[in-house]
Amino acid sequence: MSEKRFMVERRYEGRNQYLGAFGLGAVFITVGIISIIFAIFKIEFLGLRTWGFYLFIPAFFIIIGGISTFAKVKRLKREVLATLENYKNSRVNADDLAKELMMERPSLMRLLIDLRTDGSTKFRVDAKTGEIIFGEAFTPPAIEKEVATKEATGTVFCPQCGYRISADSAFCPNCGSSVQ
């Protein structure tokens, strides 16, 4: 398998990326059950009683895909946490860590933020260099009561996650995205 394809296989799209498959599978199963009820009571609605039960077939494969994605996400989290054991209380360049884990940087940062939210790891991002500092907790800045302009506060908002950051920062301290 080529490195690029492998990185696509290791793409992380958020903690609930498999829920859509389960939801769609549930819809197909529901329509299949309704078609069986229509067949029992001989109710005719869009011919559903004659063809609706066939929806159990794609529902099966959709749910299998959801289970597969769920397992992939769990495995990816375990692999990342195992790798992070090597970086306790140290700094690492996000791009270097992404290469080591064979992940795209945005996927890695999404996964790290989810792991931080779950309490599985502690880290913050250096706003000047973009390095990930493991072992240090990220504390979001206090939210100001009045909305002020950039000129008045000297701050901007991260285009990726929306955190208020210093205008002279090169990287967001929350998600590590470049803000320039």
Radius of gyration of the chain (CA): 23
Residue 144's pLDDT is: 55
Q: Which residues contact 92 (CB under 8 A, 6 or more apart)?
A: 131, 132, 134
In the numeric block, the tokens 């996400």 are attached to 73
Full residue range of the structural domain in which residue 93 is found: 3-138
Residue 148's pLDDT is: 46
- For residue 9, being part of any structural domain is answered with yes
Residue 131's pLDDT is: 93
- For residue 74, being part of any structural domain is answered with yes
- For residue 176, being part of any structural domain is answered with no
The more confidently predicted of residues 136 and 179 is 136
- For residue 161, being part of any structural domain is answered with no
75-126 pLDDT, tens digit per residue, is 999 999 999 999 989 999 999 999 999 999 999 999 999 999 999 999 999 9
Q: Which run of H or E residues covers position 65?
A: helix 56-84
- Whether the CA torsion 54, 55, 56, 62 is positive or negative: it is positive
Whole-number Å distance between alpha carbons of 27 and 48 = 14
Tokens matching residue 12: 């992380």
Tokens matching residue 31: 């329509």
125-136 pLDDT, tens digit per residue, is 998 898 999 998
Q: Which residues contact 77 (CB under 8 A, 6 or more apart)?
A: 111, 115, 120
Strands (E), 53-121: 91-93
**Hey, how many other C-beta atoms are within 10 angstroms of the C-beta on 72?**
16
Whole-number Å distance between alpha carbons of 90 and 134 = 6
The more confidently predicted of residues 13 and 146 is 13
Assessment of whether the complete model's pTM goes beyond 0.85? no
Whole-number Å distance between alpha carbons of 114 and 117 = 5
- For residue 54, being part of any structural domain is answered with yes
End-to-end CA distance of the chain: 35
Number of domains into which the chain is organized: 1
Residue 150's pLDDT is: 46
Q: Identify the weakest region by mean pLDDT among 18-32, 70-84, 142-156.
A: 142-156
- For residue 153, being part of any structural domain is answered with no
- For residue 40, being part of any structural domain is answered with yes
Q: Say if CB 16 and CB 3 are below 8 A apart.
A: no
- For residue 146, being part of any structural domain is answered with no
C-alpha distances out from residue 121 to 30, 89, 137, Å: 40, 11, 9
